[in-house]
Amino acid sequence: MSARPVVAAPLALEAAMLRGARGDADVVHTGMGPQRAADAARTLAREDHAGLAVAGLCAAISPDLRPGDVVLADAVDDGRRPTTLPADALLEHELRRCGLRVHRGPIRCVDHVLGARDRAALAGTGAIAVDMESAQLIEAAGDRPRAVVRVVVEPDGRGLLSPRTALDGVRALRALRRSGAAISLWARALAPRTVLLAGPRSFCAGVDRAIEIVERALELRGAPIYVRKQIVHNVHVVARLEQLGAIFVDELAEVPSGATVVFSAHGVSPEVRRQAVARELDVIDATCPLVAKVHAEARRFAARGDSIVLIGHAGHEEVEGTMGEAPEKITLVQSPEDAAHVALSDPEHVSYLTQTTLAVDETEEVVEALRKRYPTLAAPPADDICYATHNRQQALREVAHDSDLVLVVGSETSSNSKRLVEVAERAGTQAQLIDDAHDVRLAWLDGVRTIGLTAGASAPDELVSQVVEALRDLGDVQVDDRAITRETTRFNLPREVR
């Protein structure tokens, strides 16, 4: 049986609260004060455990801390030498999900109970809270995963004999019990792991180009630059560009007349272009050239009199843009069931197009169903599902088979990221879509030793690295880079920003 994690609680009452969480970790009552903590640490250090959390109550130094708030220490210091602690980002967010207010900062460890005045005197050290055991106890972790979680019982400026102490004590103990649930999940998630990195992953050429267009426009023309819809479907990318001065709008009516507006990578319909001309907007078009290619095919098929079936997802901006090229000729089909029922007036002249970011195998099923109805169905000259979508799905298929869990970094609005989740699930592996490391739930990791990791075409690769770093706080991580190909595609920038 593998070693179990330990939770060290200095007071018997603290240990009782933490045991209420009934996790895998062994909750050990270690005794009050630095001497007992040092004795307990020596014993714990000799034991074979998987990791150590120190948990209990503390008193506030910072005025920002209220009774019942949690301090997840980033360092502990007994005045001789500080010990830096891991970021423990996954634990921090699990504590927040328990409804707790969490503060990050150093904890100062002292050798006796301090009154309000003595605590205030420690404010200059940078510590935000004080306790009497964490610095000694955490030594027992060695190089194993570790965390210090303390719940505030005394706010700054108040001593132990205040009439409010009993009430605050109850609040703090309740919060400690809730913290115990998160610590228990953390303890169950401790394990060495392998991360299989799917490649290619993250930004494609169209996304790179669209982001660079906004950045260049801001550089050349200054803020604000208006962008119609999210430039690419990723909350982090949008937030960064907002900070640089981009203003994202849903409709052109929100853009002041004569201002510069960028059309997103997903493309727009001719009607939107007409509106831009009518409002005398200065347009820079960031439509991905591979989306523009589908628009051109729609115009060509419509001009020769075909009825066009567009395979895609209703409401997606790319689909709206493509349908706008020939609204009276295009019928949207979302599934094989739709394809089996679609009714077109001229069955001899039917062609199909697809959204660029669909799941390849699912789309084949839809095309097959259409062909049964319309045997002369005309295909686009080259597959509309773009190279980046193909590559990311193929790369993920390769790792999903060998993984216990797949994590896809990408936003809920990102079609290609959601398709990656489906690809993993079709391969029989559970998969989760996460915006970033903060979304990783510790409960997902219980018993998981191999994680397949990828990112949708609109998600920055640094978010993938952050997930790996967050996993390292739970145990050793071996990273196996499984790139199936190298992408070299680049698209030129439009002349307005060259």
Question: From the list 83, 416, 417, 454, which residue makes contact with ligand SF4 (rule: CB under 6 A)?
Answer: 416
For residue 318, indicate whether it is catalytic: yes
- Is residue 386 within the footprint of ligand SF4 (CB under 6 A)? yes
Question: From the list 198, 291, 302, 330, which residue makes contact with ligand SF4 (rule: CB under 6 A)?
Answer: 291
Using N-to-C axis directions, what is the helix angle for 415-426 and 387-400, rounded to 10°? 30
* Shorter beta-carbon distance to ligand SF4: residue 230 or 389: 389
Question: From the list 354, 389, 391, 454, which residue makes contact with ligand SF4 (rule: CB under 6 A)?
Answer: 389
Contacts of 458 (CB under 8 A, 6+ apart): 203, 207, 232, 233, 234, 237, 410, 411, 414, 416, 417
Residue pair 262/226 in contact (Cβ under 8 Å)? The answer is: yes
Rounded-to-integer distance, Cα 284 and Cα 274, Å? 14
Neighbours of 431 (CB within 10 A): 21
Please, what is the minimum distance in Å from the beta carbon of residue 82 to ligand SF4?
A: 46
Residues near ligand SF4 (CB under 6 A), total? 15
Please, what is the minimum distance in Å from the beta carbon of residue 417 to ligand SF4?
A: 10
Using N-to-C axis directions, what is the helix angle for 205-221 and 289-303, rounded to 10°? 110
**Which stretches of 215-268 are assigned E, i.e. beta strand?**
225-228, 246-249, 260-263
- Is residue 388 within the footprint of ligand SF4 (CB under 6 A)? yes
Contacts of 223 (CB under 8 A, 6+ apart): 244, 245, 246
Rounded-to-integer distance, Cα 431 and Cα 413, Å? 17
To 10 degrees, the CA torsion angle through 457, 461, 462, 468?
A: 110
Question: From the list 191, 424, 457, 471, which residue makes contact with ligand SF4 (rule: CB under 6 A)?
Answer: 457
- Is residue 408 within the footprint of ligand SF4 (CB under 6 A)? no
**Which stretches of 161-258 are assigned E, i.e. beta strand?**
193-199, 225-228, 246-249
Question: From the list 110, 265, 339, 471, which residue makes contact with ligand SF4 (rule: CB under 6 A)?
Answer: 265
Active-site annotation holder among 318, 320, 364, 412: 318
- Is residue 322 within the footprint of ligand SF4 (CB under 6 A)? no
Q: How many residues does the chain have?
A: 498
Q: Which stretch binds ligand SF4 (CB under 6 A): 140-148, 153-161, 329-337, 381-389?
A: 381-389
- Is residue 287 within the footprint of ligand SF4 (CB under 6 A)? no
- Is residue 358 within the footprint of ligand SF4 (CB under 6 A)? no
- Is residue 206 within the footprint of ligand SF4 (CB under 6 A)? yes
Q: Which residues are catalytic?
A: 318
Interface ranges with ligand SF4 (CB under 6 A): 204-207, 265, 288, 290-291, 356-357, 386, 388-389, 416, 457
